[in-house]
Structure 1
Amino acid sequence: MTSATVPESLQEIIDDFQAMEGEQRVQLLLEFSRELPPLPPELEEAAMEPVPECQSPLFLSVDATDRSAVVLHFSAPQEAPTTRGFASILHQGLDGLSADEILGVPDDFYLSLGLESIVSPLRLRGMSAMLTRVKRRVREG
């Protein structure tokens, strides 16, 4: 993966994870889970797209009407910190970027977070599914 295709905001997150080891990475993921912003009052979970590949309930909303600044929202229960952490990483790394920047993110960027020895492959597939759905929504505009 070349950092040229990873937006700076997402590369900073990757760098933070790479600077840590083992349990520190878990703690950082939990920190991200606490930073997932709440949904705006006008957006209800029922109107959002579910991501059934995630082990915990996760819903996302992608507003790509302004191709220069895509707006992302994620909803996941407090008792699902791994899923919330992944959603928060995507939110912090991609929200507000252009459609082209988001579409340029490598589909497997999450492997560079170094979580594969800590988080189950099933959960990692959930993060991959989140990114895939975000990109699909961006393409649809």
Structure 2
Amino acid sequence: MTTTAALPPALAEIVDDFQALEEPDRLLLLLEFSRGLPALPERLSDHPELLEQVVECQTPLFLTVETEKGDDGDVIRLFFKAPQEAPTTRGFAGVLHEGLDGLPAATILAVPDDMPDLLGLTRAITPLRMRGMSAMLGRIKRKVAAAG
């Protein structure tokens, strides 16, 4: 099982926050992340064909990644589109956005595939939703690898 030491600092802090809570409170924290998911920039919201659907998610979730020049080299920007009425899906997208957005590609590619399990939600969320969460991370990593 992965530990938070294997995660980028922002994502490790998020995982620590989840692990510090009892299970019912973890769902509340996930809801907070769903409310914090940024809206798509206009250039993407007007062009849904630029987003890729994560078909493994029960709810229609779309994402894309872009490479941006940063002060210390290229960084990855993450963009998600998920319906307001899907707080679990939006919440996990929010976790990934807050934990990974703006990091170098190599850092994102090094995130362990079992990272969603570290949130401690496996008993509170259906296995199908957990697979969707893992698929979201996997899709991000595939798109980052393809962009590199």
Q: Does the alignment reach a TM-score above 0.5?
A: yes
Letter in 1 for 2:43: E
Matching residue of 1:34: 35
Structure 1 unmatched ranges of 5 or more: none
Instruction: Please tell me whether the aligned partners of residues 4 and 16 of structure 2 are also in contact (alpha carbons under 8 angstroms).
Output: no
Which ranges of 4 or more aligned residues in structure 1 deviate by more than 6 Å? none
Letter in 1 for 2:76: V
**Residue 103 in structure 1 maps to residue 103 in structure 2:** no
What SS is found at the alignment partner of 1:33? helix
Instruction: Please tell me whether the aligned partners of residues 61 and 72 of structure 1 are also in contact (alpha carbons under 8 angstroms).
Output: yes
Matching residue of 1:126: 132
The structure that is strand-richer by fraction is 2
Distance 2:53 2:94 in 1: 16
1:77-111 Cα offsets, whole Å, 9 max, x none, are 00000000010000000000000000000000111
| Shift, 1:31, TM fit | 0.7
Identity over the aligned pairs, expressed in percent?
57
Matching residue of 2:44: 43
TM-score normalised to structure 1 length: 0.95
Instruction: Please tell me whether the aligned partners of residues 64 and 137 of structure 1 are also in contact (alpha carbons under 8 angstroms).
Output: no
| Shift, 1:22, TM fit | 1.6
Matching residue of 1:63: 66
Matching residue of 1:79: 85
Instruction: Please tell me whether the aligned partners of residues 67 and 75 of structure 2 are also in contact (alpha carbons under 8 angstroms).
Output: yes
Structure 2 unmatched ranges of 5 or more: none
Letter in 2 for 1:3: T
Distance 1:120 1:46 in 2: 30
| Shift, 1:46, TM fit | 3.2
**Residue 8 in structure 1 maps to residue 14 in structure 2:** no
Instruction: Please tell me whether the aligned partners of residues 5 and 12 of structure 2 are also in contact (alpha carbons under 8 angstroms).
Output: no
Instruction: Please tell me whether the aligned partners of residues 107 and 128 of structure 1 are also in contact (alpha carbons under 8 angstroms).
Output: yes
| Shift, 1:65, TM fit | 5.8
